[in-house]
Amino acid sequence: MVNNPILLERLQKRLGYTFQNSSILQQALTHRSFGANNNERLEFLGDSLLGMFIGERLYEKFTNATEGELTRIRSSLVKGETLAQIAREFELGDCLIMGEGELKSGGFRRDSILADAVESIIAGIYLESGFETSRKVVLNWFSSRLDSLELAQTGKDPKTQLQEYLQACGAPLPKYGIETLEGEAHNQVITVSCEIQGFSQPFTASAKNKKQAEKKAAQLALNAIKAEKNG
């Protein structure tokens, strides 16, 4: 299976990096359900690189933070949920290569698969262009999240952060609602919306349960608020 070249071109524009060797990108996007030449080994390498890039940046940013605090912040940035959010921002799911069964079961929407693909792409960039280039590209992906981090906020989930921010501004609290329920009862995907004052469109996110979906939608709202403030 060869991926759609138009989709790959759009993806690379969103990534901020164009692969000279397209086969590396193809492999990074290939799930194990498609065959032996998949992204599992790239994922292993990308996970290590991501932890190093983010860890170094946090060490520089929070000069008075303890080891425990730095570890907690790094975990919040490199966890699967965050990587899946980034993947959705890139519309990466449209470019995944997977077996028919995984495709039909909605694997292109699954957090774990999206997160693995992001890590695999990181490894692909590193293998093609080296440490400095891959570091620069990856930190650019995380720039808005890194710039908006505050040490006091890192232990709080996105719903709590969003609520506290809106309360501090005297704005109405967010309104959450279920948009869709897809899949069988044992493997449902729930999409929720988060409406906040000042934005014409709600923020939507999907997960296997309502609580996680609301957290993801709240994070998208927080990202939009911070981007608007920094804009």
**Residue 182 neighbours by CB under 8 Å, 6+ apart:** 106, 188, 189, 191
| Catalytic residue selected from 81, 111, 119, 214 | 119
Q: Where are the domains of the chain?
A: 5-150, 158-230
Q: Helix/strand/coil (H, E, C) string of 104-116?
A: HCCHHHCHHHHHH
How far, rounded to the nearest angstrom, does the alpha carbon of residue 203 sit from its chain's CA centroid? 15
Q: State phi, psi for 184 to the nearest 5 degrees.
A: -70, 160
94 a catalytic residue: no
Report yes or no: 192 and 159 within 8 Å, Cβ to Cβ. Answer: no
Q: What is the mean pLDDT of residues 188-197?
A: 92
Confidence grade of residue 218 (pLDDT, cut at 50, 70, 90): very high
**Residue 8 neighbours by CB under 8 Å, 6+ apart:** 22, 25, 95
In this prediction the pTM is: 0.68
Quick one: pLDDT at residue 115?
94
Whose structure tokens read 């988060």?
194
Say which CATH class 5-150 falls into. Answer: mainly alpha
| 116 in a labelled binding site | yes
| Catalytic residue selected from 9, 47, 67, 89 | 47
Report yes or no: 124 and 38 within 8 Å, Cβ to Cβ. Answer: no
Q: What single-letter amino acid sits at 190?
A: I
Condensed to tens digits (0 to 9), the pLDDT of residues 76-96 reads: 889 888 999 999 999 998 899
Condensed to tens digits (0 to 9), the pLDDT of residues 102-136 reads: 777 777 778 889 999 999 999 999 999 999 999 99
Report yes or no: 192 and 177 within 8 Å, Cβ to Cβ. Answer: yes
Quick one: pLDDT at residue 150?
73
CA-to-CA distance for 107 and 175, rounded, in angstroms? Answer: 29
DSSP lists the bridge partners of residue 189 as 182
Quick one: pLDDT at residue 1?
45
CA-to-CA distance for 25 and 23, rounded, in angstroms? Answer: 5
CA-to-CA distance for 87 and 77, rounded, in angstroms? Answer: 13
Q: What is the mean pLDDT of the chain?
A: 89
119 a catalytic residue: yes
Say which CATH class 158-230 falls into. Answer: alpha beta
pLDDT of 203 > 90? The answer is yes
Q: What is the mean pLDDT of residues 10-23?
A: 95
CA-to-CA distance for 88 and 77, rounded, in angstroms? Answer: 15
| 43 in a labelled binding site | yes
| 111 in a labelled binding site | no
Report yes or no: 207 and 180 within 8 Å, Cβ to Cβ. Answer: no
Confidence grade of residue 24 (pLDDT, cut at 50, 70, 90): very high
Q: Which of 49-63, 130-144, 208-222 shows the lowest mean pLDDT across its residues? A: 208-222
